[in-house]
Each structure stands twice: as C-alpha cells, then as structure tokens.
C-alpha cells in the first residue's frame, strides 16, 4: 500500500487551517481494524454489497512481499488478485469486489528478505452483519456518532493512518476533500490513481472526527467521516 504525506507547501493539493489541539474521550475503531490477526493469521469477511474484506497485521520487519490469492477450492487453482505496494505496513487490507461468489477461498503468499516464502492456510469469508451498509451511502447521509458504521472507501486504523480503498481507481477519476468536524476545509487530493492508498498521520493535526467528500469525475460518491484516536 503506497503511503502519501501531502506537502504542506503545495497549494494544489491542500490548504491547512491550524487550530488548537482538542482530544475527544470516545475512541471509535474501524470495524475491519478491530478484528485483524497477525500473520500468518488473517481475516476474511463478507461485509455485503459484493465486498470481501481481507485484512492482516504484519509483525515481520524483514518481509518483502505480500500477495492475496483467490480460488474456487481450498487446494489449487489460486490466482493472485493483488500484490500490496507496501508489505512492511503494520496493518493492511484489501476489499475484493470482483469475486464470482461469496464462498471462494483466500490465502496470502508472503516472502521474506533472503528468499524464504510461505502460504497461509486457506479461508472462506465470514458474514459480518455489523459492517453491512449501503454502497455507496446516500449523498445526504448524516454523521451519526452512535451506531457508527465506517466507510467502505475511507477509514482510519489505531495507528493514526487513514486508508483509501478504491478498487476501481485505475478506471475512474476519483478526487477527495477532507474537512474538520466543523466543516473547515483541510486539503484536497484532485486525482487518486492508486487502488489502495495510505495517508500519513502528519496530514491531520489532532485527534478527533474528520469529514470527507469522495468524488468521481466531479460527482459526489460519498460524504462520510472517520475518527482518529489520541494515541497516535
């Protein structure tokens, strides 16, 4: 997964409005991040809307490659659907939206510096009804602190990184705007080309809620929010 730290001096991409640091008591974690397991364990969840979430936590500092593989059976005919851009990322994941059904098998191939490589055990998706939400949510969706459901496209993890998950970014013209909770504009990325992108914690000045608007070809796809905890 590629990591992006926006240049504060670049007006094309962002404009920051500095304010005092405020920390909120409540901590809302991404539903996916909460359940991730350390390699060689990983999670596979069916979150509805033809979306299979594959996620993991990496504790190997010398890892050099991680690829997600999918098959109709548990033993053979696996095909690689993604090789992650940053295998050393501690927490990572991917949303598979092109599976033919919701009971296919998934495994991870991972290699270490020096040449050793491994395959995880095969897993099928587990239905996660707590995460199921309309895709995309209505443009006029309200921001609900209670019963919050993280966005499929943009969500944060406990390490203070914000993930952009856009499986069809190579086919569409995505752009995204970020705002503080009071709607103060923070910055904009006008062209997102990567299917999986990580925004560094340095791009956000404080803990708390942040809002975003995701556009495709200047048409609103989703208006939602995410929460960054004070622990980063």
Q: Are 67 and 82 in contact (CB under 8 A)?
A: yes
Mean pLDDT, the chain, whole residue set? 76
What pLDDT does residue 134 have? Answer: 40
What CATH architecture applies to the domain 2-29+134-228?
A: Sandwich (2.60)
pLDDT of residue 87: 87
Residue boundaries of the structural domains of the chain = 2-29+134-228, 31-127
Percent of the chain with pLDDT strictly greater than 70: 72
Residues 6+ apart with CB under 8 A from 10: none
- Return d(Cα 162, Cα 149) in angstroms, integer: 16
Confidence at residue 5, expressed as pLDDT on a 0 to 100 scale: 46
Instruction: Write down the pTM of the prediction.
Output: 0.49
Domains 2-29+134-228 and 31-127 share a fold: yes
Q: Report whether 13 contacts 188 (CB < 8 A).
A: yes
Contact 70, 94 (CB under 8 A): no
The CATH T-level fold of domain 31-127 is: Immunoglobulin-like (2.60.40)
- pLDDT 10s digits, 75-107: 889 999 988 888 888 878 888 888 999 999 999
């Amino acid at each position: 997964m590629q990591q992006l730290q926006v240049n504060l001096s670049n007006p094309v991409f962002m404009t920051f409005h500095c304010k005092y640091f405020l920390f909120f008591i409540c901590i809302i974690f991404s539903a996916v991040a909460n359940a991730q397991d350390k390699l060689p364990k990983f999670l596979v969840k069916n979150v509805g809307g033809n979306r299979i979430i594959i996620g993991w936590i990496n504790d190997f500092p010398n890892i050099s490659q991680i690829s997600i593989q999918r098959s109709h059976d548990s033993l053979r005919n696996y095909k690689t659907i993604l090789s992650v851009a940053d295998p050393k990322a501690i927490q990572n994941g991917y949303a598979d939206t092109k599976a033919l059904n919701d009971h296919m098998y998934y495994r991870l191939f991972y290699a270490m510096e020096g040449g050793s490589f491994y395959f995880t055990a095969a897993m099928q998706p587990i239905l996660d009804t707590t995460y199921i939400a309309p895709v995309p949510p209505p443009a006029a969706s309200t921001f609900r602190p209670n019963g919050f459901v993280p966005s499929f496209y943009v969500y944060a993890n406990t390490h203070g990184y914000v993930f952009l998950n856009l499986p069809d970014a190579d086919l569409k013209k995505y752009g995204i705007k970020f705002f503080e909770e009071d709607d103060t504009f923070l910055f904009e990325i006008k062209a997102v080309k990567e299917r999986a992108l990580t925004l560094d914690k340095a791009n956000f000045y404080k803990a708390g809620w942040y809002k975003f608007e995701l556009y495709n070809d200047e048409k609103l796809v989703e208006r939602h929010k995410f929460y960054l905890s004070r622990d980063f």
